[in-house]
Structure 1
Amino acid sequence: MRADDRAVTLRRAVSPDDADAAADVWLRSFTAALPSVVRPRSDDEVYGYFRHVLVPLHETWVAEAEGGGVVGVMVLEGEEVEQLYLAPEWRGRGIGDRFVALAKERGPQGLSLSTFQINAPAHRFYERHGFKAVEWTDGSGNEEREPDVRYVWRP
């Protein structure tokens, strides 16, 4: 962990500004990590979804760097990790590990999530945190129509 990484705090998102910053992280991360996946929503629709759905209706957390703004976002819906994205320049600094630890605290009975089959780094990340792949799909159940993998974690 670098010295500047200790200045990252995780906090519950509560404002429209948080929603826009989280959407920006999501957009940049999705573009960097999944360049071949076609997004079914425009940038404006993604911002609106964060503003009107995720932040007000779901348990949305942001990672905020001191002096650097929001650098990560995690959305929980019960035992489901709906979203976990980091700004590309902040990957590999332990923020994702902290988000997963927080998710496990919030969902001590277990968690589940889906990630695209082509996202091998995400597979390694979740498996390192004890998640097990339990289902592979053809993508017909997600907006992107991209084959995905269902993961579960049980304590």
Structure 2
Amino acid sequence: MTGKVVIRRATGPDAAATADVYLRSFTAALPTVTRPRSDDEVRDYIRDVVIPHRETWVAESVAEGRVVGLMVLNADLLSQLYLDPGWRGRGLGDRFVALAKDRAPGGLHLWTFQVNKPAHRFYERHGFVAEEYTDGSGNEEKEPDVRYVWRP
């Protein structure tokens, strides 16, 4: 799990590997959060909606020839950022956030779950500020969340 990592736009053939990274990351980072979709539904959604209709980026380990991270932007919404658990703490998240800021220079916002304290620290380190807390009634997981905003 070392070596060069290329960040590039996702394409159709990346869908299965991208979904697998999402599923592994979600399970590792959010063990107490119930996912509203089955693994197969997640795979279908990433293949049929996310990659073809969202600005989806993947981090690919050149040495391993596999996807190890993903980021999805929807205009100024950073809607997803997930890393393979073995690749956390290696600077990939930093690279994804820098790319997101370049792609949305006017500012960004995102949602993360209140229980995800490592994500809070990560985004705050990158200049995001918590601006709204909810009881989770507005998300599929029904899990309390927080909206973070970055303004240049």
TM range (shorter): over 0.9
Residue number among 44, 51, 60 corresponding to 1:48 in the alignment: 44
Kindly provide the amino acid, as one letter, of the partner of residue 55 in structure 1.
I
Normalized against structure 2, the TM-score is what?
Answer: 0.97
| 2:30 corresponds to 1:34 | yes
| 2:112 corresponds to 1:115 | yes
| 2:97 corresponds to 1:100 | yes
**Unaligned ranges ≥5, structure 2:** none
RMSD value over aligned CA atoms? Answer: 1.0
Q: Distance in 2 between matches of 1:102 and 1:70?
A: 17
What percentage of residue pairs aligned between the two structures are identical? 68
Runs of 4 or more above 2 Å deviation: none
| TM-superposition CA deviations, 1:77-103 (whole Å, max 9, x none) | 000001000000000000000000000
Superposed, 1:58-137 pairs within 5 Å as 58-68=54-64, 69-137=66-134
Q: Distance in 2 between matches of 1:48 and 1:64?
A: 21
**Unaligned ranges ≥5, structure 1:** none
| TM-superposition CA deviations, 1:64-84 (whole Å, max 9, x none) | 001320000000000000100
